[in-house]
Structure 1
Amino acid sequence: MKKDSTARELETEAAAVRPPRPEKLPLPSGEAMRMLVRRGLQPSKSRLDLPFPENFEEERASLLSELLGHYGFRLFLRGAILLREGFAPEQASRYLKPAQSRAYAESLVELGLAERISQCHYRLLGSARNFGGILEWYVARELGQRFGFDALAGVGFHAPGVGGDLDVVAAAEGKLIYLELKSSPPKHLADGEVAAFFDRVTMLRPDVTLFVVDTALRLSDKVLPMLVAELEQRRGGATVTPRRVVRELWALTPHLYAVNAKVDLMANIGRAVSEGLFALSPAL
């Protein structure tokens, strides 16, 4: 039987070993990314799928953000992106009046994002697979502009066994906010997407989490039950009772919120963040 080392031998052996030199990775800029590094992750900025440069000049970016604040414009642009060969304004969305559609098409031309290819037809100058990247760009920008967050869209966090990027991460007051954004209607949401979302939340452990669906439809019909079912499963069957904050803004826990776009997407996001931060604050 091997004799145990003495305390002196253990100390001498440990003192003789040179520690491995840590890999010197460049520290990312911005508090949001650095909070991910402190969680043991190696985040990287992914390239957003946008029909315009991500570093859009400020004047045009501001005008585009103002337009994106209108749900009707987001519906229009979502449809226009899919009509890659060109479109008549009324083809982009069946939910808008013809005058609205024409005005939005002309706005895209004025911003340099579309061209008029005939008297009644337009075409986007850039391409994107879908509206998701634009939604991420808009929300991250507005979190910075309206609420003073250090916010980034499209962040790869390279966690073993956890897929997908972080749509938007934001930092302020020493708190990390994570937003999962869905640009498709609720009917397209799949169980696998919800499970992957909770995998990312479990790995990241943000202070406040928002599951945001850019829709005016009720979340309580499909989205909320799916989130509740997945959360209950992960809690070993413990009952989860969502609390309605206002309209279709729901608190599943004091730190997890489901948000839709009615009446104002960014106002709803701001309210959810406010609720989450208040829940973290000490009571009197």
Structure 2
Amino acid sequence: NNYHERLRFTYEMEIDSSISFLNVKVIRSKTRLITNWFRKPTWSGRYINYYSNHPQKYKINTIYNLVDHAILLSNDCFKQENIKLVYDTLINNCFPEHIIHRHIQKRINFLNNRDHNDTIDVNPTRLNKTHFITIPYVENTSHDLYRLLRNSGFNVVYKITKKLNNLIRRGKDSLHNNDKTSVVYKLNCKDCNLSYIGQTKRHLRTRMKEHCNNIKLHETNHSVISKHRLESGHEFDWSKPNILHSEKYVRKREIAEMFFIKRFNNLINLQKDTDSLNNIY
């Protein structure tokens, strides 16, 4: 390299006539190159436990994923050994033998006939009718709901509610309410029992400043908060808004805002703020 002294190019030498790249080990065998499924020395073989509280299709897809690695990344001479490794790995993760045998064979048959399975449905009418819905996974209950939603034309995606970050907390100081983002909040009047409910994706402190300064605008641009301040001479507690809900997705946050507007009494929110809330709520 003569372009710049800080640019450095590296290379890796083969070891025992082989070199690895991502999940593939490339092996020099006489006059040809063959491949095998590569696993790092730190590979533990630990995957989702069969008896964990996860949807069944996640567990089946774990089998399919391992079989794909064992078959698609390997030369024929390694496939039997790799399938044996897949079997042992699944046994160590508490998968029942009959489940392992059935789905390993099913996946192998699929891969052997994949050239005949590559049919793509390009019907735009069908694509436009596909709707996805996310539901929390609760064993048994979610399966019944899954069947009902599928029959109604929905593709169901499960969401696991209890994740590692619910159990393992990072050692960070909690944020002050005014420094939080993507929240639904309730702003209380200091001088009466009226309140205002809103939502914002920005820092709550920034939204409070906007509410406070809105009164400086022309009266045609006044918010319901500014109108209440002018008509009654009351003031709001800008430094202590209550956070009712946190949600990073804007549509879900808007639904949560409308839900809380319906739930609470003594609000100054306009009635039209909940016009788009479905009657199911």
One fold, TM greater than 0.5? no
TM-score normalised over the length of structure 2: 0.22
Point out the structure with max Rg over C-alpha.
Answer: 2
The structure with higher relative contact order (CA 8 Å, sep 6+) is 1
